[in-house]
Amino acid sequence: MSTATQEYTRVAIVTGASRGIGKGIALRLAADGLDVVVADLADQKDPLDAVAEEIRGLGRKALTVSCDVSKEDEVQAMVVAAVSELGRLDVMVANAGVSLAGSVMDAEIEAWEKCWAVNIKGVLFCYKHAARQMVKQGTGGRIIGAISSHVSARPTFNHPLPGASSVCGQRGYANVGAYCISKAAVRSLTQTTALELREHNITVNAYGPGAIDTAMVANPLDEVHGAGYFVKQLLKIPEGVRTGQPSDVANVVSFLVSPQSHFVTGQTLCVDDGIHFT
Ligand code: NAP
């Protein structure tokens, strides 16, 4: 992506965009002047439509796409829809992800593979098909993935998560192996893809959120103690670390998407109030 004046409106895809961090990123990119394809699972159609309406309210074009990122044909179709409806693809934010807790000794491979299907294969498919389209266009691009600065504490978890207080993509933590592996894979994939796409002026980076106030980490105890309380207790996050909002992550993605970030590639930027230092 050159920093020269563009004669077209850039188009972004954001996966997992019906709520949480994905929604925050989609709205921020629209405010930045991009047209946005918002994608999520089919059962998220109503909230996804509402996000698209908010984007149109900001004066940008929006398209909603039902897409399970773990299915390559659906990811490919999403990219085709973006190009046929909005004309091109300049930015891919592979945000959709799921969490899973459980020890190595109790590992049920079907569950671990389900986590990897979304968090690894889903990101790979998004990177692959976005890259193909961007290379074909010949005008560079931005590809961005989601790592993690911790693991989710969704109430469905039936395991404690001792020690999982830092970037799960940077090192392993007890009882969150499936998730740590998946985020480490995204970090590595981001580096590999960055090297492969450098000659095409496509940067590839990732963000690593800390405790962000979304459905993924919500717990009834937060109503008493404040957003993010439960997950920070569970993960032994040091006292004083704040809970962020999706907009805090979106601000960083906004920079990574901007032409000014052209000299940054292969990086994982932690957005976590200082939980993890790289
Ligand atoms: P969220 O509130 O759970 O939103 C994620 C969205 O992705 C949901 O709408 C979810 O739909 C969707 N999704 C799940 N599987 C999908 C699939 N196969 N294909 C397409 N969409 C799918 O999560 P979030 O907190 O915004 O997190 C976004 C990203 O940031 C994730 O990659 C997560 O791992 C990462 N992250 C979040 C935090 C945090 O504190 N919130 C911290 C570190 C990393 P369903 O609800 O129907 O499954």
Between 156 and 13, the higher pLDDT residue: 13
CB 70, CB 117: distance < 8 Å: yes
Of the candidates 127, 173, 179, 229, the residue annotated as catalytic is: 179
Which pLDDT band, with edges at 50, 70 and 90, does 208 fall under? very high
Distance CA 123, CA 254 (A): 19
Q: What is the CATH number of the domain that holds 22?
A: 3.40.50.720
Is the CB–ligand 1 distance for residue 18 below 6 Å?
yes
User: What is the pLDDT, as a whole number, of residue 174?
Assistant: 73
In a domain, 74, yes or no: yes
Q: Is residue 3 part of a domain?
A: no
Structural domain harbouring 105: 11-271
State which ligand 1 atom lies nearest to the alpha carbon of 154: 3
What is the distance between the alpha carbons of residues 2 and 202, in angstroms, rounded to a whole number? 10
Active-site residue 179, yes or no? yes
For residue 128, is it within any domain? yes
User: How far from the centroid of its chain's Cα atoms is residue 22's Cα?
Assistant: 7
Q: How far is the CA of 214 from the centre of ligand 1 (A)?
A: 9
Specify the pTM.
Answer: 0.94
Tell me, what's the pLDDT at 114?
Answer: 95
Catalytic residue among 23, 128, 183, 232: 183
Q: Is position 229 annotated as part of the catalytic site?
A: no
81-108 pLDDT, tens digit per residue, is 999 999 999 999 999 999 888 899 999 9
Is residue 213 a part of any domain in this protein?
Answer: yes
**Distance from Cα 98 to the centre of ligand 1, integer Å:** 5
**Looking at the domain assignment, is residue 4 inside a domain?**
no
Asked if the model's pLDDT at residue 251 lies above 90, the reply is yes
Find the 148 Cα to ligand 1 centroid distance in Å. Answer: 11
Confidence of residue 160 (pLDDT cuts 50, 70, 90): very low
Mean pLDDT of the chain: 90
Count of domains in the chain? 1
7 C-alpha vs ligand 1 centroid, how far in Å?
Answer: 34
Within a domain: 278: no
Instruction: Give the pLDDT confidence score for residue 121 in this predicted structure.
Output: 97
Q: Is the CB of 146 under 6 A from ligand 1?
A: yes
Whether residue 253 is contained in a domain is answered as yes
Q: Work out the pLDDT band at 168, boundaries 50, 70, 90.
A: low
